[in-house]
Structure 1
Amino acid sequence: MVKKILGELHEFKLPSILTPVCMIGEVIAEMIIPILMGRIVDLGISGADMNYIIRTGLMMIVVALFGLAAGVGGAVFGSKASTGLARNLRKRMFDNIQTFSFSNIDKFSSAGLVTRLTTDVTNIQNSYQMILRMAMRAPASMIIAMVMSFIISPRLASIYLIAVLCLAVIIVIMLNKATRYFKEVFEKYDKLNESVQENVSAIRVVKAYVREEYEKSKFRTAALNIYEMFVRAEKIVTLNGPVMTGTVYICIILISWIGAHMIVSGELTTGAMMSLLTYCMNILMSLMMLSMIFVMITMSQASAKRIIEVIDEKTSIDNPEKPITEVKDGSIAFEHVNFSYNVESEEPVLKDVNLEIKSGETIGIIGGTGSSKSTLVNLISRLYDVNEGRVLVGGVDVKKYDMETLRNQVSVVLQKNVLFSGTIYENIRWGDKNATDEEVRKACCLACADEFIEKMPNGYDTFIEQGGANVSGGQRQRLCIARALLKKPKVLILDDSTSAVDTATDAKIRKAFAEEIPNTTKLIIAQRISSIQGCDRIIVMDDGRIDGFDTHENLLENNTIYREVYDSQVGSSGDADFDEKV
């Protein structure tokens, strides 16, 4: 795990090496200064030698400036190395996420991925910086100070040694108790981010249903869970401070008491005593730094594991070794297709599906909620792979195509219409980044989007807010259809993509498709009979199976489900629910 994380350093290896080097330089400077101070007291002041005091004082200034420069260098290089590592980790994770199939994305929640890209990487960044700066500095400072103390007075230095051993045992006990809380706390962040993400993206629904208090309560619960976990962990960790402080005072008292007797008896000089007290502080502060390093490492272990899970996740859909880079036409065939989102599921979502669609046909797809209409069309552009059977486009198994080629020729307007921050031009050009203004306008005309775009103050340069928050549902659907049309695909799939437009606009869009893109195979998923009754043929789905596949007239005569739907929408009340059997 550590090897994989550090493998993302790349161009930041040199700052990672220079940081501990600078920290060692700072430690050396700190260790020299107490010796010089002791000499000033023992030789300069006691001997009334002003020249010696000045020379040694100037030497202390030089050493202090060297230590300062080394400390600044360590801070600069450490920051560069840690932020660079964080940048590379985020880039590696984000790049890998872009390769995920829908089944990979289903494995991680969107809130979980956001947490891993932000909070978890920040934890690694902070830990890495502390490790670079303190993991080298603290042990070096403690060891050198201990050695210097034993050189000055082994008897007094033994006090440090006993204190260090006792503190080490106490710190290990505290960290073991705190570790399990830190491991759990980051999982709680997923719930918090999920609450924020859902609330912000669906704020209009929240307000429409007056659910603000419920959402605030849900957020408070998620935030409280994180708070309680951190408090439990921090209560244990903060005991470190009082224990350290108490140990420092005890050491100072013992050294002062024993040292005073040694000075009186001539076994120790006053300067040496001052040096020992300084080394005492260095040793115990270094031990405190080490304990904080262990805390950070403990916190970052859980984050590192979650980051590696994303980096190591392999897409379930890969390009073949020698992919086909051209789709001949828009013909589609399903041959004994079975599909399940979870391969371990006993009951497949799609069951023995057999279809044959000619290039250029307009096919309607209708069925109750949960009948797997969207699942069926998602297999065509290989957003998922079948478990059994084959899906063919242009007479070729979709698994043999280059995925970019296939998805450029099989354009899908999904149920959830998503627009991105930017102008209308920029959003439509997702279909073809090199499209001219004329091509963009034509696509919008086919999708009947030009009607409202031209009424906007800035026309096609109107800025769309994130998620298309400043346009209506019907406008958002038409812009997404225009975006798909700009790809000039051989297969166009509309997954319930005109549900938010009125029937007149729906009819205009279907008429434009028939006249302007007659050679494109069009699959239209709809809940309204009026949206698909003019199609060449209609697929009726029921519980993952093809219950009927024929023209509108023939289905009315021969298919019970279709006839019941038709009667419920056209023949009787006109507003009956699709799923109700009347």
Structure 2
Amino acid sequence: MNTIKSLYPYLKPYKWLALFAPLLMVIEVLADLLQPTIMQHIIDYGIANNNQTYVITRSILMLMLALIGLAAGIVCAILSTKAAVNFSTDIRKSLFEKIENLSNSNRDKLGTGHLITVITNDVTSVQNALNMTLKVLVRGPLLFAGSIVIVLLTARSLFPIIVVVVPILFLCIWFVITKAGKLFKKVQQSVDRVNTKVQENLSGMRVVKAYVRESYEINQFKEANSSLTRANMSAVQLISLLMPVILFVVNIGMVATLWLGGLQVEAGKIEAGVILAFINYLTIILNGLMSSSMVLMQITRAFPSAERIDSVLKTKIDIPPANSAAQINRLKGDLSFQNVTYSYSKNGENVLKDISFTARHGETIGIIGSTGSGKSTLAKLISRLYDPDGGEIFVDGKNLTDYDVKELRSSIGFIPQKATLFTGTIDMNIRMGKDHASSSEIEDAADFACATEFIEKLPERYEYPLTRGATNLSGGQKQRLSIARAFVRKPAILVIDDATSALDAVSEAQVLKHLKEEFADATVIIIASKISSLLHADHIIVMDEGKIAEQGTHEELLRYRSLYYDIYLAQGGKEVLPSE
């Protein structure tokens, strides 16, 4: 019930559509309920008395009622569909906005496959449930109740058959609906696993092929798919049992009607038309119960989906997208880490341990270390993609949490290890760094990132369309566009997370040269695996197992003859003499 209350605001703008649709369905139901009674009168009073005028006038009345019911049903379908589709569209929009504002840790907990299932399958399930509710839920109970009342008034002698048949039908429907809810929840969980497996394989297709793991991944998908198949089969088989059982019960009722009704016709207690009308009403009762049960099963199936939607919408964002902090005019870029720790698993195993350092605006800080030493995690904390578990990070003397996160990020340029580009043009992708950048700013940023040389050779140059994942560019070309996207922002703090690894030595040297010339006032954090990328840094931090092992200038670190020195030699550096 709480879930329904949470989603009601999305239906509120379309409440008039949602109200008029059932009202029109009432008109259709009334037209349907009158048909058997009119047919009974035609048989008992028209045909029995050979009154052709009566037969014709009542037949015209039946036709008019059928047309009225048809028109009401069509308009009801249009209104209910419009309400349901707009309702789901607004929910999907809110879900996407929520997902966009979730922190990285929120997304890690929820899972990509789960979020995809929620915004697609779950929203569709809720939409279908609402659509059927507006079109059918009113129809079913009204057909059922109306038929019961008419039979009680016009064929009371046959009413005991209804008293026996209806409870049996109710028990069958209740049993199936109760069991179906649990089964459909398992179906949605299985869909999650299938979506997750597909998403992982599509994003990691190159790795799968490179390591010839196609057979293994196919078998893994088969397991997830088989689990979905079993869950679906259990749910569908249970629902499939309902129709034959209900038809069997109703057919028994019809046989009883013909036997009991025949005896009463023979005794002169009722007319033959009453039996025909009763059988029609028995069929209508069946249709009413079946349509209601189908809606209830759809609702039962939608409840787990609605709960999952509500869970995502109510997820507390670890890092709120906005707060009441004062606007940032322009950051200087002074950066300070004070005893910062961080753990992804939150089990006490920290990726970063007691990290402290200071970077002044205009300085270039180099960070190097072995794989898994926490370099990239440190870069993510600067942009508040994650918040530290312990310690504090300050920018211009203020804690990061005191800034509006969107304002803060607009003053930071972040170039990740893996270049992520989006479907659209090159211009659009670079302009993501600065919406209102001029053409000259776009071209300058591309030039500084050494991207101009390949852009100029493309047919449409900056309007060249990129495919999904920019698969029509090389790794180095994608990396240069990623660098240009950060450069065009001209940020106060620029974080480069091993982003030059895909560039050749000449291009990397040019990018670093432009970096020093064009961003002299910015605080630059360069995370690199190659010492050659850090030679111009004012200060170098050496990370090891989440801690700062050493720090100093290139020359100072070489003189220590410790971890940095070993990396230097391993990368082909010359032996440093004690006097050097």
Q: TM-score range by the shorter chain?
A: over 0.9
Partner of 2:341: 338
Pairing of 1:416-455 with structure 2 (within 5 A): 416-455=418-457
Describe the superposition over 1:197-228 as per-residue Cα deviations: whole angstroms up to 9, x where unpaired. Answer: 22223333333333333333333322221111
Pairing of 1:66-77 with structure 2 (within 5 A): 66-77=68-79
Distance 1:538 1:341 in 2: 25
Pairing of 1:141-290 with structure 2 (within 5 A): 141-290=143-292
SS in structure 2 opposite 1:348? coil
Describe the superposition over 1:247-285 as per-residue Cα deviations: whole angstroms up to 9, x where unpaired. Answer: 121111110111111111111112222111110000012
Partner of 1:548: 550
Shift of 1:559: 5.6
Shift of 1:135: 1.5
Shift of 1:155: 2.7
Q: Which runs of 5+ in 1 are unaligned?
A: 574-582
Give the one of 470, 478, 481 matched to 2:480: 478
Partner of 1:579: none
Report % sequence identity.
38
**Contact map agreement 2:331 2:411 (CA 8 A) in 1:** no
Distance 2:367 2:93 in 1: 40
Shift of 1:572: 8.2
Shift of 1:152: 1.4
Give the one of 94, 100, 103 matched to 1:101: 103
Partner of 1:577: none
Greater CA drift, 172-181 or 554-563: 172-181
SS in structure 1 opposite 2:10? coil
Q: For residue 321 of structure 1, what is the amino acid of its counterpart? A: S
Query: Is it true that 1:321 corresponds to 2:324 in the alignment?
Result: yes
Shift of 1:404: 1.9
Q: For residue 333 of structure 2, what is the amino acid of its counterpart? A: G
Give the one of 531, 534, 537 matched to 2:533: 531
Distance 2:454 2:561 in 1: 40
Q: For residue 74 of structure 2, what is the amino acid of its counterpart? A: V
Q: For residue 90 of structure 1, what is the amino acid of its counterpart? A: R
Count residues with an aligned counterpart.
572
SS in structure 2 opposite 1:379? helix
Shift of 1:484: 0.7
Describe the superposition over 1:104-135 as per-residue Cα deviations: whole angstroms up to 9, x where unpaired. Answer: 11111112111100011111111111122222
Shift of 1:170: 2.1
Query: Is it true that 1:306 corresponds to 2:272 in the alignment?
Result: no
Give the one of 57, 78, 82 matched to 2:59: 57
Distance 1:290 1:547 in 2: 69
**Contact map agreement 1:82 1:125 (CA 8 A) in 2:** yes
SS in structure 1 opposite 2:115? helix
Q: For residue 337 of structure 2, what is the amino acid of its counterpart? A: F
Q: 1:327 to 1:394 in 2, by over 3 A?
A: farther
Q: What's the RMSD between the two structures over aligned residues?
A: 1.6
Greater CA drift, 468-477 or 198-207: 198-207
Give the one of 27, 30, 36 matched to 2:29: 27
Distance 2:140 2:383 in 1: 57
Pairing of 1:389-538 with structure 2 (within 5 A): 389-538=391-540
**Contact map agreement 1:23 1:133 (CA 8 A) in 2:** yes
Q: 1:521 to 1:160 in 2, by over 3 A?
A: same
Greater CA drift, 69-78 or 311-320: 311-320
Distance 1:102 1:395 in 2: 25
Distance 1:108 1:416 in 2: 22
Q: For residue 274 of structure 1, what is the amino acid of its counterpart? A: L
SS in structure 2 opposite 1:7? helix
Greater CA drift, 440-449 or 220-229: 220-229
Q: Which runs of 5+ in 2 are unaligned?
A: 576-580
SS in structure 1 opposite 2:382? coil
SS in structure 2 opposite 1:411? strand
Distance 2:349 2:225 in 1: 39
Partner of 2:130: 128
Distance 2:573 2:269 in 1: 112
Q: For residue 212 of structure 1, what is the amino acid of its counterpart? A: E
**Contact map agreement 2:180 2:301 (CA 8 A) in 1:** no
Distance 1:400 1:559 in 2: 41
Distance 1:396 1:176 in 2: 56
Q: For residue 550 of structure 1, what is the amino acid of its counterpart? A: G
Distance 2:330 2:370 in 1: 32
